[in-house]
Chain A
């Protein structure tokens, strides 16, 4: 992605250079009264090459198409993935006393220091 963005900017530079070349050539051909002549070949080739390069970069930046049939993506999910509901996780229930790093609340704060049922322990918070 970053590489192709660099390619895109480079090809825009190539196109800008070609445009400047044509403007310069147009200026001198007008001065020497050769107005009917067509643009030099090297500038045409440079312009088309810059265009091709820019389009390759654009196609890569736009990215790959994704599958639109819903069943294809769903078939790759396991049952555990589908029934997983992170919003319904509970950590603060009585089984947390079975955890090896369980710290019992201090007796002085008993009753007052009880945390809420849906509170998430600090070690699960990143």
Chain B
């Protein structure tokens, strides 16, 4: 199957952008709410799963093909952005709750 490389790149960039934004915002929210240890990680994975669900519902409504496998919508960039999440989480937690 011939692919359009420009659109493949655009989709990957769009997915990466929203995943990164989710980590940054989610980290801020977890810090504000003062989540600690396992609760913070659970919050991140819940938010990521929710974003994946939203994407799955969006893509099931249109008949186009956007990724080679639909699994990519849910699982890609989740663990790459976990570290961004931890960074923002600890930073905002420190700003709000410690000082």
Question: Residue A66 at the B interface, CB < 8 A?
Answer: yes
The 8 Å CB contact of A65, one of B14, B26, B34, is B14
Contact status of A47 and B25, CB under 8 A, knowing A55-B51, A59-B18: no
- Contact assessment for B14 and A63 in the assembled complex, using a CB-CB cutoff below 8 Å: yes
Q: Kindly identify, within residues 5 to 32 of chain A, every residue whose CB is under 8 Å from any CB belonging to chain B.
A: 15, 18-19, 22-23, 26
Q: For the side of the interface on B, what is the size category? A: 20 to 34
Name, among B17, B21, B31, B95, the residue most crowded by chain A CB atoms within 10 Å (CB to CB). Answer: B21
A66 to B32, CA, bound (A): 36
A114 CB to nearest B CB, Å? 43
Could you list which residues of chain A lie within 8 angstroms of chain B, going by C-beta atoms? 15, 18-19, 22-23, 26, 39, 43-44, 47-48, 50-51, 54-55, 58-59, 61-63, 65-73
New A-B contacts (5) at CB < 8 Å, excluding given A22-B32, A59-B18: A47-B33, A55-B51, A61-B17, A67-B64, A68-B8
Name, among A18, A50, A51, the residue most crowded by chain B CB atoms within 10 Å (CB to CB). Answer: A51
Q: List 25 A-B contacts (CB under 8 A).
A: A15-B32, A19-B28, A19-B96, A22-B32, A22-B33, A22-B34, A22-B97, A43-B32, A47-B29, A47-B33, A51-B25, A54-B21, A58-B17, A62-B15, A65-B10, A65-B59, A65-B64, A65-B66, A66-B7, A66-B11, A66-B66, A68-B66, A69-B4, A70-B2, A71-B1
A112 to B61, CA, bound (A): 66
Chain A residue at minimum C-beta to C-beta distance from B50: A55
B12 CB to nearest A CB, Å? 10
- Contact assessment for B28 and A15 in the assembled complex, using a CB-CB cutoff below 8 Å: yes
The 8 Å CB contact of A48, one of B2, B29, B59, is B29
Name, among A50, A67, A71, A72, the residue most crowded by chain B CB atoms within 10 Å (CB to CB). Answer: A67
Question: Residue B22 at the A interface, CB < 8 A?
Answer: yes
